[in-house]
Structure 1
């Protein structure tokens, strides 16, 4: 009789999965809810869920519950450790990373998670469709939480919205998602933009360009707001003609060759020969500005001072190490893990945190002539 009951529960739940009522990443009702729904014992429910797990349909995680990882039967179910011995599995998806930005963030996350969780890393290359697929794949692997650096701040992947809705542990890094109740950890980008512009003002520069990419991420908008605020504080107007927003080759997934960006930057500075300073919102864009200045015969920093965000170790640009706004990437990674770990213990524990930034002096800035 008991076997018949757990078989009935198993078949009913299996039908919901294979029939599309429950998709990958969806959580099954709690054990208490299933007991009430089917009017059976806890042992019956456990045996039915174990069968689904053994068939590869679901993953059963402490504090998380039973989550659908596949809608077709298979033999690829993740391994299950004995109760109380398994470390949480945390997914980390990022457009890409290098020594300028990303590597140290990942290092902070991995160091914080050592002996506390396993981390699965994937790169989306800035492709929203690939990002969505990677999230689904990591859910299928049975991740307990997700740390995500989205490719855009304006487009929220449907899977992310679903995870937020059901209070799945998730933390967004380096982006602000307005109106979405999700934990975030970002640098103080507005202050960073203000510090960069004020550094140039303090050197006597009053004709300052702002160079950025057309990337649809909140960090770029926040840095621009900081630059505008610094101009307002010094009673200097930042004219739209002084803003160049079309450095395309630095955007993840872009097919624009850097040489094309350099040529357009040459035209921009030729049209504005009075500019003596430049705030650049990304390190790789600053390298292109440096090339454009040299092509025009303008020495850095004698003729043009450049302040950017982020920079790898100085030996990479030993000729002209950039003055830059430094993000505490290690702290970003550490706090991202801590926030997702906190949600593993208490679902729905949403927090927004901002990490301070600072100016690091280099050889790309000097007094205005």
Structure 2
């Protein structure tokens, strides 16, 4: 069986360290340089370096980069980072905050759950046996709740972004409820009273249920809508991308096909994947944003990834700050011993839509998409 490229890269670096070509403290080339050298993607290099760090061969230092570890003096305190991925946003922001705050005396061991229930359980068991504390971005699968409760009772465990139901543990997360209400108030101040809500049907995630609750309360108590549920659209998330698009498209057409007096003028999206898909559907249907439809969403990607996102209202999580707070909490638990579990919630930053003209490149992009759009889909 052919060796995976990231394994070959990691093996090469290990060989150089064993042979004395790379001594403790020596700087490893950047991920970009190594990607060019090995003719692979940066993700492949990142995976190799993450595994080397997990095994204690290298350490990552802020403003310096990756350097060869002194394996004769490895730190005693190992922190397990149990995440669904280490590159995707906002997880990359959480990790940046954690790793920049816990430096000397701590070693990070990365465990990638790949958002899989059984894999998460394996990672948690391994982290509990190998580490002194765990920082976790949980998938909140009910099957793993008993295991998480057992770990929380025996060692420092802190959750980032979300907390599984029924667990008394530290958590650092966005104020999902309050941030959603803040964004909806912004839309309402712009004259929008008929606001739909698109959400992924993941009711085990606290972030999802809190954002939904914020929508329900605002629409009832502040927008004066007695039955906001009629404008809620639930999207199955565990389906192929084509099916995901079809769901969003069908629901958007249904909402925009209503009589004008009852037609929604804005949509609040639970998260950025939904926003990206709604934008895609709007382009294909010839619906202008923000002209015909205003969009609000929690958003974790750089606006350059989706040019049209600049014309939407975005709630940006303070991910790096959240990671730093989680790191400080772990440090206190390790130093001071048992502490009462705390929940820290940070309000997201609201970035209003940029209604100025698009750049020439963006205008060409929109024109090309609209030229083939099926405008007749909405009658």
Q: Is this a same-fold pair by TM over 0.5?
A: yes
Cα gap change, 1:161 to 1:125, in 2 (>3 Å): same
Alignment match, 1:103: 92
> By percentage of residues, which structure has more helix?
2
Q: Does 1:208 align with 2:195?
A: yes
The size of the alignment, in residue pairs, is: 277
Q: Please, which of 191, 198, 216 is the counterpart of residue 178 of structure 2?
A: 191
Superposed displacement of residue 362, structure 1: 2.8
Alignment match, 2:80: 91
Q: List, as ranges, runs of 4+ consecutive aligned residues in structure 1 with deviation greater than 6 Å.
A: 79-82
Q: Give distance in 1, aligned partners of 2:148 and 2:346.
A: 23
- The superposition leaves residues 241-261 of structure 1 with CA deviations (integer Å, 9 ceiling, x where unpaired) of 21111141xxxxx3x222211
Instruction: Note the residue ranges of structure 1 that are not aligned, 5 or more in a row.
Output: 1-78, 249-253
Q: Give distance in 2, aligned partners of 1:257 and 1:355.
A: 33
Superposed displacement of residue 313, structure 1: 2.2
Q: Does 1:264 align with 2:247?
A: yes
Q: Please, which of 341, 351, 360 is the counterpart of residue 342 of structure 2?
A: 351
Alignment match, 2:353: 362
Alignment match, 1:222: 210
Q: Does 1:339 align with 2:341?
A: no
Alignment match, 1:47: none
Instruction: Note the residue ranges of structure 2 that are not aligned, 5 or more in a row.
Output: 1-69, 257-262, 357-379
Q: Does 1:326 align with 2:326?
A: no
Alignment match, 1:66: none
Superposed displacement of residue 98, structure 1: 4.7
Superposed displacement of residue 87, structure 1: 4.2
Larger Rg: 1
Alignment match, 2:139: 151
Cα gap change, 1:129 to 1:153, in 2 (>3 Å): closer
Q: Give distance in 1, aligned partners of 2:355 and 2:106.
A: 41
Q: Give distance in 2, aligned partners of 1:240 and 1:324.
A: 23
Superposed displacement of residue 155, structure 1: 4.7
Cα gap change, 1:238 to 1:363, in 2 (>3 Å): farther
TM-score (norm 1): 0.69
TM-score (norm 2): 0.68
Cα gap change, 1:145 to 1:162, in 2 (>3 Å): same
Q: Give distance in 2, aligned partners of 1:281 and 1:224.
A: 8
Q: Give distance in 1, aligned partners of 2:293 and 2:321.
A: 32
Contact 1:154–1:217, Cα closer than 8 Å, also in 2: no
Superposed displacement of residue 340, structure 1: 1.4
